[in-house]
Every structure is written in structure tokens, then in C-alpha cells.
Amino acid sequence: MGKLQIIGRLARVAASAVTPMALDEATKIINNQLDKRKHYVKIPDVTSLPLDEAAKVLEQYEFNYALVKLPADIKYADNDSNTVLRILPKGGTSVDPTTFVKVYYADADTIDKSNTLFKDMVDQKIDKQEKHRQTVREVANKSKQVAADVGNKITPRKRNSDK
């Protein structure tokens, strides 16, 4: 019997002895987690609701929550003011009923600033495109000029004797 066969048999014997213990421990851990999560509830998805409605829903589920005003950002430009933009933990997540929920929203001032940022971004994009077009025009014109200059240098001139 070779070394590999001996090692293989020892591994099988060891695995058969350890496997029942490992299964028992894994079962205990899983059952413990399931017992712990029996009373978990799903966080209602209050995204896109007005703040006052979202607050009522979260209070019905007896969640502790905080309203967090978001800073101006381009991605909030198209949203309505004083509506829930996102929550943490996410809606639909099963959590302990004592979990603290953060409700993120943007007020009218934030939406206005976000719209200004968006318009500025669009203006910058348009300016950048125009500069690019201008550069392309300049390169094209310069290329035409160089081609014409080269053409003039290459074109044979008439000699006085050809007259």
C-alpha cells in the first residue's frame, strides 16, 4: 500500500469521525439564529412617500427613526421636495423591531440647489462639446492649409523654355 493510499484512508476515517460533530454544531448554530430571528419584522418600503406619511408608517411598526436631510446633488434634481429618497436599512429587509431606521430626504432648498448643479453640469458639457467642435474645425482647416502648401511645393512649375 502506497503513501497516498494510506493518507486517503486516514482522511476518510477522520472525516467520518468529524462530520457528525460538525453537523451537530452547524445545526445548533442555525437553530439558534432561527430562534433569534423569529420576532424579526420587515421594514416597510416608504421610499417616494411624503415625509409625514412615511413617519406614520414607521410609527405604526414602532420603529425608531431619524429624518436625515441630504445635501444637494445632481441625482436629486428631478425629485419632489420632502419625499423619502431612500432608507437604511432598505425597505423589505427583515430586522429586529428595535432597529434604528434612517430616512433620507431632500427639502425644497436642496432640490433647487440640485437643479442648479444639474444645469451647471449641462452647461459645462455643452461648452466642452463646443470647444471640441472648434478644435476639430481648427485641425481640419490647418490640415487643408498644409495640404495646399504641400501641393503648391510639389506641383512642377513651368520653365521658361516650355513657353
Cell of 127: 461648452
Domain ranges of the chain: 32-145
Alpha-carbon span 53 to 69, nearest angstrom: 16
For domain 32-145, give its CATH number from 1.10.10.10, 3.30.10.20, 2.40.30.10, 3.30.465.10: 3.30.10.20
**pLDDT digit string, tens, across residues 3-57:** 666 666 767 766 666 666 676 777 777 777 777 777 888 899 999 999 999 999 9
pTM score: 0.61
> Cβ contacts of residue 70 below 8 Å, gap of 6+?
76, 85, 104, 105, 106, 110
Alpha-carbon span 52 to 45, nearest angstrom: 14
Tell me if 39 sits within 8 A of 95, measured CB to CB. Answer: no
Question: Is the pLDDT score of 136 beyond 70?
Answer: yes
Question: Is the pLDDT score of 161 beyond 70?
Answer: no
Phi, psi of 100, rounded to the nearest 5 degrees: -85, 130
Element (H, E) at 16: helix 3-36
pLDDT score, position 2? 65
Question: Is the pLDDT score of 128 beyond 60?
Answer: yes
pLDDT band at residue 71 under the 50/70/90 scheme? very high
Alpha-carbon span 15 to 45, nearest angstrom: 47
**99-105 mean pLDDT:** 94
**94-102 mean pLDDT:** 90
Question: Is the dihedral angle over the CA atoms 16, 21, 22, 28 positive or is it negative?
Answer: positive
Other Cβ atoms closer than 10 A to 137: 10
